[in-house]
Structure 1
Amino acid sequence: MVKALAKHGVQGMAQNGLPANKDAFRKTWNPKYTLRSHFDGVRALAFHPVEPVLVTASEDHTLKLWNLQKTVPAKKSASLDVEPIYTFRAHIGPVLSLAISSNGEQCFSGGIDATIQWWNMPSPNVDPYDTYEPNVLAGTLVAHTDAVWGLAYSGIKNQLLSCSADGTVRLWNPQEKLPCICTYNGDKGHGIPTSVDFIGCDPAHMVTSFNTGSTVIYDLETSQSLVMLSSQIDSDLQSSNHINRVVSHPTLPVTITAHEDRHIKFFDNKTGKMIHSMVAHLDAVTSLAVDPNGIYLMSGSHDCSIRLWNLDSKTCVQEITAHRKKLDESIYDVAFHPSKAYIASAGADALAKVFV
């Protein structure tokens, strides 16, 4: 976003120091880096909070650490290839979910093996040809009994949320001797959770989406469900109800959901009512991310495209074709860098791509 402001200079600013027009923050993203090294689909990715560094998690059972400043020119293209500087190995089976701590010192990964592995992040300048570092694996969080599909981290109390195919959502304080603080939806009353996030404007609350089409806000302390977010559409079609991702707006009491039926929906956390619904892609919407300033939403889909949306007007400001299909699946995850002008996507084609 900084680049975009520099481009428009002072003339784009109104008296109050805010952009005079909605487009002053507009940035057109262009492909820059291709991250090739995984042997199978890349299910999740996350950026370091301040460094030009990211972690990817793959169905090839590994996670990889990438430093975007360590590149090799790609053959026959303007983009740069990046080589991983570290490979994390501990999961038995595909790695499905990922979260990085707010200080960038730890990383957590959830797998089909029902474990959450907890890692100390190697230095961005680690030599990829160094010997194996046993102290990178900090521990394993064990309590789930099935695949861990979603993770979210909050720096306020340094807590981790996880959701699993076993039907539960769990809250963790990884540093504690008994790290699992609380369990939610133990009776599977709402279905199987598919995604989880801390509420940006109220970190004492979290939101979880379910395969039944329900989205529920919980009080983390009391573990009570506070608000059911409903779109008033009850159909018998389980698959069309299926929610792939839920994200909380960083500053507003708004929850956004991505659906198997190509929709993105917006909800008011206070009333539980739907604010807006739109057909956002040509295929299932798999992933969502809100930019750190809360102005743009990014969505990824099995239609092979990333779309950027103005959150205010709900209009699409850019579409990028990013990945190839593999067995009818394409993009699994998208992310904004918390403090630098990078976005990234993770694909079933075993690639991750970074745009600037």
Structure 2
Amino acid sequence: MAEATQPRSVIARIEKAHEESIWSIAWTRETNTVITGSLDETAKCWAVSDTGLTSKNVFDRHDLGVISVSAENSGNFFATSALDCTIRIFDLVKGAPVRAIDAGPVEAWTVSFSPDGNHVASGSQAGHVNVWDAHSGEKVQTFEPRGTNKFTTSVAYNNGSGDQIACGAMDGAVSVFDVATSKLLHKLEGHGMPVRALCFLPENRMLLTASDDMRINLWDVTQGQLVGTMTGHTSWVLALSASPEGRYFASGASDRRVKIWDLGSRQCVQTFDGHTDQVWGVAYSPDGGRLVSCGEDGCIQMYKV
């Protein structure tokens, strides 16, 4: 299928979904809810319908802007990190805060909930990854990439067993760790600029990484090898999300565009316009039929894919 720009595939657009920029978005698996985090210091959850999104709850416990949101697989709980150096966990079903973790100065950036809901991982500006017990709030593990103390800009658990963590750094390096042993499995060096987004594909053997160098790399994390590079964005690539079946993935970038990519051909097959500023987040629906994006313009868009 040739690449096409298809504005008619935009199902809904919510202007001023937050009062300021929206830096992160997630779509829960089981509860089918969209969660957003904004520099207006709030996280919101959105009820999903066939025609769009409706604001359901506002969570406003942070003192500074929310950088990242992540939901565990059941969709009952989600975590946020913010510029106030705290990680917060919320009960999505009850619409209530559960726990606050004081991570300490520059110790919490992007967050990733473990698939089983027991742990939350967060990147550090000192260059490592901290893991927190989601029930007690205690720090239980630290992963330290070798040869770098560069700001960790992205973190992700693999989606199935949660037995690996990957992180991207400001210097372009990507590290993959074994969770059980804390061992560094691979140092992946294929980007020359900050890696602001990464995600495992559903089968877990493959990892996507996106960088300010405008490239998206595909890695075999079993062998630690680069198996493909995709280009098409004209500015920093800031967001990634893999479709549930692993055939496609979406990207968002500073060029204000959202793109859909076919992993088999490694080609862009669809491009969406509409955002008026950089796109910070993208997330697939649990059935893979829809996609949401958020951006610096404070807008959320939903697409039929």
Instruction: Quote the residue 1:292 is aligned against.
Output: 244
Q: CA RMSD in A?
A: 2.5
Equivalent pairs counted in the alignment come to 300
Question: How big is the shift at 1:249?
Answer: 1.2
Question: How big is the shift at 1:335?
Answer: 0.4
- Whether the 8 Å contact between 2:279 and 2:296 is mirrored in structure 1 is yes
Instruction: Quote the residue 1:43 is aligned against.
Output: 23
Instruction: Quote the residue 2:270 is aligned against.
Output: 318
Instruction: Quote the residue 2:142 is aligned against.
Output: 183
CA–CA distance in 2 between the matches of 1:227 and 1:262? 23
Instruction: Quote the residue 1:6 is aligned against.
Output: none
Instruction: Quote the residue 1:221 is aligned against.
Output: 180
CA–CA distance in 1 between the matches of 2:165 and 2:187? 12
Alpha carbons of structure 1 residues 111 and 58: separation in structure 2 relative to 1, 3 Å: same
Question: How big is the shift at 1:190?
Answer: 4.7
CA–CA distance in 2 between the matches of 1:277 and 1:48? 29
- The structure richer in strand per residue is 2
CA–CA distance in 1 between the matches of 2:147 and 2:225? 23
Question: How big is the shift at 1:159?
Answer: 2.4
The farther-off stretch of 98-107 and 273-282 is 273-282
Question: How big is the shift at 1:152?
Answer: 1.5
Instruction: Quote the residue 1:236 is aligned against.
Output: none
The one-character-per-residue Cα deviations of 1:133-187 (angstroms, maximum 9, x if unpaired) are: 7xx1111122242163311222236322111324331122211x35321012288
Instruction: Quote the residue 1:146 is aligned against.
Output: 106
Q: 1:174 aligns with which of 131, 134, 142?
A: 134
CA–CA distance in 1 between the matches of 2:76 and 2:53? 22
Instruction: Quote the residue 1:17 is aligned against.
Output: none
CA–CA distance in 1 between the matches of 2:11 and 2:133? 37
When Rg is computed on C-alpha atoms for both structures, the one with the higher figure is 1
Asked if residue 62 in structure 1 is aligned to residue 22 in structure 2, the reply is no
Asked if residue 354 in structure 1 is aligned to residue 302 in structure 2, the reply is yes
Alignment of 1:12-31 (within 5 A): 30-31=9-10
Asked if residue 272 in structure 1 is aligned to residue 224 in structure 2, the reply is yes
- Whether the 8 Å contact between 2:45 and 2:56 is mirrored in structure 1 is yes
Q: 1:308 aligns with which of 260, 266, 279?
A: 260
The one-character-per-residue Cα deviations of 1:47-82 (angstroms, maximum 9, x if unpaired) are: 12234421110011111111133x9xxxxxxxx674
Instruction: Quote the residue 2:80 is aligned against.
Output: 109
Q: 1:158 aligns with which of 93, 98, 118?
A: 118
Alignment of 1:195-210 (within 5 A): 195-200=154-159, 203-210=162-169
- Whether the 8 Å contact between 1:245 and 1:258 is mirrored in structure 2 is yes
Amino acid at match of 1:61: E
Q: Which has the higher contact order (CA 8 A, sep 6+)?
A: 2
Instruction: Give the TM-score taking structure 2 as reference length.
Output: 0.90
Alignment of 1:317-336 (within 5 A): 317-325=269-277, 330-336=278-284
Amino acid at match of 1:32: I
- Whether the 8 Å contact between 2:88 and 2:101 is mirrored in structure 1 is yes
- Whether the 8 Å contact between 2:128 and 2:144 is mirrored in structure 1 is yes
Amino acid at match of 1:66: W
Amino acid at match of 2:12: Y
CA–CA distance in 1 between the matches of 2:8 and 2:226? 30
Alpha carbons of structure 1 residues 144 and 342: separation in structure 2 relative to 1, 3 Å: farther
Amino acid at match of 1:294: G
CA–CA distance in 1 between the matches of 2:245 and 2:145? 35
Asked if residue 96 in structure 1 is aligned to residue 75 in structure 2, the reply is no
Alpha carbons of structure 1 residues 83 and 225: separation in structure 2 relative to 1, 3 Å: same
- The structure richer in helix per residue is 1
The one-character-per-residue Cα deviations of 1:270-294 (angstroms, maximum 9, x if unpaired) are: 2222111232301111111100000
Alpha carbons of structure 1 residues 222 and 29: separation in structure 2 relative to 1, 3 Å: farther
Alpha carbons of structure 1 residues 311 and 81: separation in structure 2 relative to 1, 3 Å: closer
CA–CA distance in 1 between the matches of 2:84 and 2:147? 20
CA–CA distance in 2 between the matches of 1:50 and 1:156? 13
Instruction: Give the TM-score taking structure 1 as reference length.
Output: 0.78
